[in-house]
């Protein structure tokens, strides 16, 4: 019998009615002949409330104790969902991370999963139970409760699906799938039926924000099909899978616009080995996350080095750079916080030429000026003026026909 | 170094300020050179809220899942208290029942403790930590969370004190000790400095309600001194210990009045072997708890059988008795729900005569009519008309000088 893992986020289990609805969905899959494992998050704003309770007592709560506290949110949801299923006449049992030996390292509040005791779950499934597992949490070798950090419940779900060799990991959310782009900017955006792990990873890191990158990486590593779908209806959502041949035919799967960026250029850095390393080590020490890096020689002795950071990190980045400027011979810092980045992503780029050409032409026709360009194997990004961000994304979406299902686009 | 266990109930940890105060008390004991283990209950009305959440989803929630749910309340308190101590600069660590292997049987919602892994706690104490343990909860051999039922946190605390061979188990509450009688009825009642396990067991079962009988039994079995005291001040409360010689000099330690009782008399039961057993087996099946039983022969063939039950159980008891009446030849049922029971308790009764005499004289002088009398080795109880309950208790308290410390009473 095929195993299905269903994950419900906080908004999908926020109150009794929603817990009942989620339970009903699990029951339906069970009655269709599947073995069902549910992974649930804490109810609604529970985690926020617990964090507020903690901060009232300690502005810097010890991470071990924070994990001990926060893990109760998911534990409450899973026991309540088991009760809901019992009321529907269905055998159900809830487990905490500790109870299924979801072993992690001891990096509290951002632990990494190391192993799962799938046998305990399998035994209950074979006995006809629906098994409900608390997401977001694990336990270290010594029995201390750990949590997995942002997007942790997704990671729990995908990891369980991998350990159980589940047919699919369904992620229930309040949107009905992943769209070709943000419908608030390009209202004609369409839902994607299918997308590859690599593409969604590029889209996630660019801020599409549907799922956290870690759970996708897990899915990719263990080849778990992930179905992102709505908790409000039965329509199929978007299936995230390994790459299949027909994906190659799609030039661009999706496009994104990212506004919360700033760009820093170090002008006239001495063109000597080790200078780039010095600069980025300095930024890493200041905990600044650096995105797209561009370096170009401007003379035999000098180079310009640009990169983007989140706007919130800009001050920290500049402070850190002031401490290294002299050492690397940087003549001046040039900062832009009035930029946006548009990106197009698609595995088809690997085998098709003309994508960059089409992109630049679309931007030119929309009279959008390009500040700079970076690319990866399946992505092209352009930095533009923030005022032109929306125009740029719309122009690109029209050019790549992101208002149509992939199969109906011109080749 | 002496180990002290401190238990704080729900009202003593209801909000951040109260958690901080409880933490401060633990810290004070630590600074006085003790090794401190704190046992905490769920905050304020948290458990009630969780039960309401459960009932909204399932009128009869499975007990395993109810335990999984309710145990989160204590888990939240202990992590928050560890954070509060950390904020005071004190090393502290919280443990759930599962984490210290508080092993119980699998009788969910009313589990019994079987063993505790004291080593994990001792190790942390030796490292200078204050250890905070979630009360009310344990874990069965298979790792399912269990709870200990009414008064469970007291039981956790006393059991931990026993396992750790603690010097004392301090029970912090909102009263400043145990009184000779209910001060609402006899305002001159005084706090007892010391009382024996046996006496408090008699007083608890009679409704004094300070601590649950199970935790006292545990304390008696493992000889753990229990100090019931106020969480609001530093005054010493009442110490519950094994019997010491000077207790023998005290005729009566305390007196109680119980109003929520009813008395059932089976008139003219056939005086044959096995009839009493049949009747009480029938009541047990109906889950009716029977108190003081009196049987008297009224003829060679017939006997009258009386007993008391909680008023809430009266209907169930009568229904059950209707089903057995004919079989035991009972002529009629006589029910009184307008009664009260007054009791005096004291280990001194064992070695002193005249207690009963003094009691009956006091009631006679107050013109209180006695319906019936029962006794145990250290207790005398009289059933009186409910209208006369208060008068009766006051008369008895005056007769036995329960307005004075035990040492100042006339011999």
CATH number for the domain whose boundaries are A255-408: 3.30.2130.10
Residue in chain A nearest B94 by alpha carbon: A65
- In chain A, residues with a C-beta closer than 8 Å to the C-beta of B89 are none
- Judging by beta carbons within 10 Å of its beta carbon (0-12, 13-18, 19+), is residue B223 exposed, middle or buried? exposed
B76/A87 CB distance under 8 A: no
Instruction: Determine which helix (DSSP H) or strand (DSSP E) holds B319, and give its type and residue range.
Output: helix B314-322
Pairing of strands B379-385, B332-345: antiparallel
Interchain pair A86, B61: CB under 8 A: yes
pLDDT single digits (tens) A333-379:
999 999 999 999 998 888 888 888 999 999 999 999 999 999 888 99
Q: What is the mean pLDDT of residues B181-208?
A: 87
- Chain A residues with a Cβ under 8 Å from any Cβ in chain B: 16, 19-20, 50, 53-54, 56-59, 61-62, 64-66, 68-69, 71-72, 75-76, 78-80, 82-84, 86-87, 93-94, 96, 98-99, 143-145
**Alpha carbon distance B214, B228 (integer Å):** 15
Cα–Cα distance for residue pair B320/A100, rounded to 1 Å: 45
Q: What is the mean pLDDT of residues A317-325?
A: 91
Contacts of A58 in chain B (CB under 8 A): 83-84, 86-87
Name chain A contacts of B49, Cβ cutoff 8 Å: none
| Rounded CA separation B386/B389 (Å) | 5
Burial call B352-389: b when 16+ CB within 10 Å, e when fewer? beebeebbeebbeebebebebebeeebbbbbbbbbebb
Rounded to 5°, angle at Cα B217 from B339 and B233: 85
pLDDT of residue B60: 96
Contact partners, residue A403, CB within 8 Å, separation at least 6: A180, A186, A188, A189, A190, A397
Q: Please return the burial class of A110, using the count of CB atoms within 10 Å of its CB with bins 0-12, 13-18 and 19+.
A: middle
B68–A79: do the CB atoms touch at under 8 Å?
A: yes
Residue of A nearest to B145 (CA): A99
Q: Provide the 8-state DSSP code for B370.
A: E
CATH among 3.40.50.720, 3.40.50.300, 3.40.1160.10, 3.30.390.30 for A3-174: 3.40.1160.10
Locate B340 and state its tokens. Answer: 């009260």
Nearest CA in chain B to A80: B54
More confidently predicted of B213 and B255: B255
Q: Residue A65 is nearest to which of B20, B62, B82, comparing CB atoms?
A: B82
pLDDT classification of A207: cutoffs 50, 70, 90: low
Are residues A54 and B83, on separate chains, in Cβ contact within 8 Å? yes
Report residue B206's pLDDT band, with 50, 70 and 90 as the boundaries.
Answer: low
Q: Tens digits of per-residue pLDDT, B280-291?
A: 998 988 888 888
- In chain A, residues with a C-beta closer than 8 Å to the C-beta of B86 are 58, 61-62, 65
Closest CB from B19, B69, B83 relative to A80? B69
Q: Which residues lie below 8 Å from residue A170, measured CB to CB, with a gap of 6+?
A: A4, A5, A6, A7, A227, A229
Query: Which residues from A are below 8 Å from B96, CB to CB?
Result: 68, 145
**Cβ distance of A84 and B57 shorter than 8 Å:** yes
What's the average model confidence in pLDDT over A249-260?
89
> What is the distance in angstroms between the Cα of B27 and the nearest Cα belonging to chain A?
15
The two beta strands, A113-115 and A103-104, are antiparallel
Candidate from A53, A56, A76 with C-beta closest to B69: A76
The torsion of the CA quartet B14, B18, B22, B23, rounded to 10 degrees, works out to: 110
What share of chain B has pLDDT > 70, as a percent?
99
Question: DSSP for A318-366?
Answer: HHHHHTTTTTTT--EEEEEEEEEEEEEE-GGGGT-S-HHHHHHHHHHHT
Rg (CA), chain A: 24
> Which residue from A29, A71, A31, A35 is spatially nearest to A50, judged by alpha carbons?
A71
Q: Which two tokens stand for residue A32?
A: 């269709």
Q: Residue A392 forms beta bridges with which residues?
A: none
The Cα A382–Cα A353 span in angstroms is 18
The shortest C-alpha distance from A332 to chain B (Å) reads 44
B62:A96 CB<8 A: no
Render the burial of A260-285: b for 16+ CB within 10 Å, e for the rest. Answer: ebbbbbbebbebeeebbeebbebbee
Q: What rounded mean pLDDT belongs to chain B?
A: 93
Distance (Å) from the C-alpha of residue A203 to the closest C-alpha of chain B? 37
Q: Which whole-number Å values give the CA distances from B389 to A375, B84, B206, in the listed order?
A: 90, 47, 14
Inter-chain contacts counted by CB atoms under 8 A, chains A and B: 109
Facing residues of A309 across strands? A262, A290
C-alpha neighbours within 13 Å on the C-beta side of residue A116? 24
- Please give the pLDDT value at position B214: 87
Give the model's confidence band at A394: pLDDT under 50 very low, under 70 low, under 90 confident, else very high: very high
Contact A128, A91 (CB under 8 A): yes
In a mutational test of the A interface, the residue from B69, B88, B119 whose CB has the highest number of chain A CBs within 10 Å is B69
B175-185 pLDDT, tens digit per residue, is 889 999 988 99
Domain ranges of chain A: 3-174, 255-408
Q: Give bridge partners of residue B170 from the DSSP assignment.
A: B6, B227
- Which of the residues A57, A77, A82, A144 would you substitute to probe the B interface, choosing the one with the greatest number of B C-beta atoms within 10 Å? A57
Q: Is the pLDDT of residue B17 over 70?
A: yes
- Answering whether pTM is above 0.80, one says yes
Q: Which helix (H) or strand (E) holds A163?
A: helix A152-163
Helix (H, G, I), strand (E, B) or coil at B65: helix
- pLDDT, position A237: 94
User: Is B78–A68 a contact, with Cβ atoms under 8 angstroms apart?
Assistant: yes
Interface test with B, best of A38, A58, A73 (most B CBs within 10 A): A58
DSSP code per residue over B5-21: EEEE-GGGGSSHHHHHH
Question: Strand A370-376 vs strand A379-385: parallel, antiparallel, or unpaired?
Answer: antiparallel
- Cβ of B62 and A83 within 8 Å? yes
Task: Enumerate the residues of chain A whose CB falls inside 8 A of the CB of residue B20.
Answer: 57
Q: What confidence score (pLDDT) does residue B250 get?
A: 83
Q: Do A75 and B79 touch (CB under 8 A)?
A: no
Residue labelled with tokens 């009764």: B349
Domain B255-403: which CATH class? Answer: alpha beta
Please spell the DSSP secondary structure of B325-352, one letter per residue: HHHHT--EEEEEEEEEEEEEE-GGGGT-
- For position A297, what pLDDT does the model report? 87
Closest CA to B332 of B278, B264, B268, B263: B268
Task: Give pLDDT tens digits for B227-286.
Answer: 999 988 999 999 999 988 777 778 899 999 998 899 999 999 998 888 888 999 989 888
Query: What is the structure's pLDDT at A210?
Result: 73
Write the residue in B20, B65, B99 that is nearest to A83 by C-beta: B65
- In chain B, which residue's Cα lies nearest the Cα of A145? B99
Which pLDDT band holds residue B207 (cuts at 50, 70, 90)? low
- Write the pLDDT tens digit of every residue in A28-65: 999 999 999 999 999 999 999 999 999 999 999 999 99
What spatial distance separates the first Cα and last Cα of chain A, rounded to whole Å?
40
Chain B hits for A71, CB-CB cut-off 8 Å, are 75
Do A199 and A378 meet the contact criterion of CB atoms below 8 Å apart?
Answer: yes
Mutate to test the interface with B, among A59, A79, A133 (most CBs of B within 10 A): A79
B66 and A83 in contact by Cβ < 8 A?
Answer: yes
Task: Say yes or no to pLDDT of A324 above 80.
Answer: yes
Distance spanning both ends of chain B, measured CA to CA: 40
Q: What does the DSSP 8-state code read for residue B70?
A: H
The bridge status of strand A238-241 relative to strand A103-104 is: unpaired
Q: CB-CB: which of B19, B76, B82 is closest to A62?
A: B82
Helix (H) or strand (E) segment spanning residue A63: helix A63-87
Tokens representing residue A88 in the block: 């529907």
- Mean pLDDT, chain A, rounded, equals 93
Nearest to B113 by CA among B170, B66, B156: B156
In Å, how far is B327's CA from the nearest CA of chain A?
40
Question: Which residues does chain A have within 8 Å of residue B68's beta carbon, measured at their own beta carbons?
Answer: 75, 78-79, 82, 94, 96
**Cβ burial, residue B84 (10 Å; 0-12/13-18/19+):** buried
Euclidean distance between CA atoms A23 and A132, whole angstroms: 10
Cα–Cα distances (Å) from B115 to A4, A151, A381, B104, in that order, read 39, 38, 62, 7
Across the interface, of B56, B76, B87, the residue whose CB is closest to A69 is B76
Q: Do B86 and A62 touch (CB under 8 A)?
A: yes
Where is average pLDDT lowest: A16-20, A118-122, B210-214? B210-214
């Amino acid at each position: 019998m095929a195993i299905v893992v269903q994950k419900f986020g906080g908004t999908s289990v926020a109150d009794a009615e929603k817990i009942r609805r989620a339970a009903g969905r699990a029951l339906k899959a069970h009655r269709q002949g599947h073995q069902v494992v549910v992974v649930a998050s804490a109810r609604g704003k529970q985690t926020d409330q617990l964090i507020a309770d903690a901060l009232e007592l300690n502005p810097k709560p010890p991470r071990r104790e924070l994990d001990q506290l926060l893990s109760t949110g998911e534990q409450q949801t899973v026991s309540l969902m088991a009760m809901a299923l019992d009321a529907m006449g269905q055998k159900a049992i809830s487990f905490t991370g500790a109870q299924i030996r979801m072993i992690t390292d001891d990096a509290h509040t951002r632990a990494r999963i190391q192993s799962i005791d799938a046998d305990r779950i399998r035994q209950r499934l074979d006995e006809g139970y629906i098994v409900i597992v608390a997401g977001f949490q694990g336990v270290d070798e010594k029995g201390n409760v750990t949590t997995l950090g942002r997007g942790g419940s997704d990671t729990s779900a995908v990891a369980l699906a991998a350990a159980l060799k589940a047919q699919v990991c369904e992620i229930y959310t309040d949107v009905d799938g992943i769209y070709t782009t943000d419908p608030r900017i390009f209202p004609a955006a369409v839902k994607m039926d299918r997308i590859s792990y690599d593409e969604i990873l590029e889209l996630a890191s660019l801020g599409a924000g549907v799922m956290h990158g870690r759970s996708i990486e897990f899915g990719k590593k263990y080849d778990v099909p992930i179905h992102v779908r709505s908790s409000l209806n039965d329509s199929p959502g978007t299936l995230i899978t390994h790459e299949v041949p027909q994906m190659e035919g799609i030039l661009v799967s999706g496009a994104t616009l990212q506004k919360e960026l700033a760009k820093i250029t170090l002008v006239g850095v001495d063109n000597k080995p080790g200078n780039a390393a010095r600069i980025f080590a300095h930024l890493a020490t200041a905990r600044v996350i650096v995105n797209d890096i561009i370096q170009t020689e401007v003379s035999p002795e000098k180079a310009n080095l640009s990169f983007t950071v989140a706007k919130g990190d800009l001050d920290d980045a500049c402070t850190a750079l002031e401490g290294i400027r002299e050492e690397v011979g940087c003549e001046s810092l040039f900062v832009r916080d009035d930029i946006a980045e548009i990106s197009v992503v698609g595995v088809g780029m690997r085998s098709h030429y003309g994508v960059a050409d089409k992109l630049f032409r679309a931007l030119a026709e929309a009279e959008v000026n390009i500040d700079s360009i970076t690319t990866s194997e399946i992505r092209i990004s352009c930095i533009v003026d923030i005022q032109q961000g929306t125009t740029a994304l719309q122009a690109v979406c029209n050019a790549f026909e992101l208002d149509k299902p992939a199969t109906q686009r011109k080749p």
